[in-house]
Amino acid sequence: MKRAWRAFRSIVRWTASGIHFAVVGTFLIVLAIFVDPRRNDWPQRLFFRNILRIVGARLEVRRAPGFDPARTCIFICNHVNLFDPFVVYGAIPQFVRGFELASHFRVPVYGWMMGRFGNIPVPDVPSREGLAIMTARAKAALDSGTSLVAFAEGSRTRSGHVQPFKKGIFNLAQQFGLPIVPVSLVGSYEFFQTGNWLLYPGKITVYLHDIIETSNISRTEIDALRRRVHEIVAGPVEESLKHWKKH
């Protein structure tokens, strides 16, 4: 009986969020034709937060003392499910855009929207030319004051644990000398697991950790930086999973 109720509740929430996404998403796409997305950040942010409310996620944000919302940064976080962009965008108190596979930009309508909204294409198959284009676009965005978000695992976790981080985004951070902000998405796995369509309404806590400077980091220190950021991001996630599995 309990599972039947969860299934019914999930169907209702998926349906409601889908309708909301279709209606408001269409409005934002049309609006973006006439207005630079940077000038209408608040309706986008409201839209993302409403999606979370509809599917039953309560968003909590915890900022470390060393986090500076005024600085342009590269935010590096764990990747759990398809709601992660909504969670991150709703939690970071500044204009941000993200990296997305280049093949997604070829999807009708959606791809145009990703490009128009300023997301950065990542080559599906790494090549010198593709990486050069990605680097140039990322630098242009950062130089304009747009912070970037990267899901450094490269794919969604299937176990809830934070997978190893890929090196590429750390190379970029070191190359540009821009600060990194580790971000932990806690409660996302308990809320919705990739590979299962059931939703379990609850709280998702976003930890915006202290800024890590990269301006004095050499290329030989990139691996150590990657391990350090992974440890920071994974800490609250693993602690939450430990308590969740006990119950």
Calculate the CA dihedral of residues 61, 96, 166, 143 and round it to 10 degrees: -140
In a domain, 226, yes or no: yes
Question: For residue 126, what pLDDT band results from cuts at 50, 70 and 90?
Answer: confident
Question: For residue 247, what pLDDT band results from cuts at 50, 70 and 90?
Answer: low
Mean pLDDT of 58-82: 95
Measure the N-to-C terminal CA separation of the chain; round to a whole number of Å.
Answer: 20
Question: For residue 69, what pLDDT band results from cuts at 50, 70 and 90?
Answer: very high
In a domain, 25, yes or no: no
Residue 246 has pLDDT above 80, yes or no: no
Mean pLDDT of 174-195: 95
Q: Residue 110's domain spans which residues? A: 57-246
Lookup result for tokens 């599917």: 55
- Report how far residue 192's alpha carbon sits from residue 198's, in angstroms, rounded to the nearest whole number: 7
- How many other CB atoms are found less than 10 A from the CB of residue 144? 11
Question: For residue 56, what pLDDT band results from cuts at 50, 70 and 90?
Answer: very high
Nearest to 85 by CA among 135, 48, 111: 48
Nearest to 181 by CA among 84, 91, 83: 91
> Mean pLDDT score of the chain, rounded to an integer?
89
Domain total in the chain? 1
In a domain, 49, yes or no: no
In a domain, 118, yes or no: yes
- Report how far residue 48's alpha carbon sits from residue 83's, in angstroms, rounded to the nearest whole number: 9
CB 170 within 8 A of CB 229: yes
Share of the chain above pLDDT 90, in %: 58
